[in-house]
Structure formats: C-alpha cells, structure tokens
C-alpha cells in the first residue's frame, strides 16, 4: 500500500515536470516563430542586404509572355 502510494506520487511529480517542460517548449516555439516572421519582412531583408552592398532594383520586373 505504501509503495503504490509512493509510485503514484512519483508519477504525479513526473507528469507535473513534463507539463512544465511542454509549456516552456510551446513558448519557445512561439518566440522562434515570431522571430522568423520578423526576419522574413521585406524591410528587414533589404536592410540586411544593404549592409552587404546589395541595393534594390529601380526598374520593376518585366513579365515574360510565352505563346
């Protein structure tokens, strides 16, 4: 009886720690997804590329029509 109670307590503690780990991983995922969305913004890409010497085109792209 005492051993089964002890085992149940261990399982409850394990479940609690796993739930805390799940919450931490969910928040880390949300933060990483937010950072990735920010890095994909056109203005962010332009600023990073301008630091490397790239400039955006002045002329718009032309459409190629194949008939």
Alpha-carbon gap, residue 8 to 16, rounded angstroms: 12
- pLDDT tens across the length of the chain (67 residues): 788 889 999 999 999 999 999 999 999 999 999 999 999 999 999 999 998 999 888 898 899 999 8
The residue extents of the domains of the chain are: 2-51
pTM (whole model) above 0.75:
no
- How many Å apart are CA 21 and CA 17, to the nearest integer? 6
Q: Tell me, what DSSP letter sits at residue 55?
A: -
CA–CA gap between residue 62 and residue 52 (Å, rounded):
26
Spatial separation of the C-alpha atoms in residues 35 and 16, rounded to whole Å = 29
Give CA–CA dist 66/29, Å, rounded: 44
């Amino acid at each position: 009886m005492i051993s089964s109670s002890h085992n149940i307590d261990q399982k409850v503690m394990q479940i609690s720690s796993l739930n805390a780990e799940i919450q931490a991983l969910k928040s880390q995922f949300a933060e990483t997804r937010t950072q990735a969305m920010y890095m994909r913004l056109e203005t962010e890409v332009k600023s990073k590329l301008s630091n490397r010497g790239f400039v955006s085109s002045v002329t718009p792209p032309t459409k190629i029509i194949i008939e």
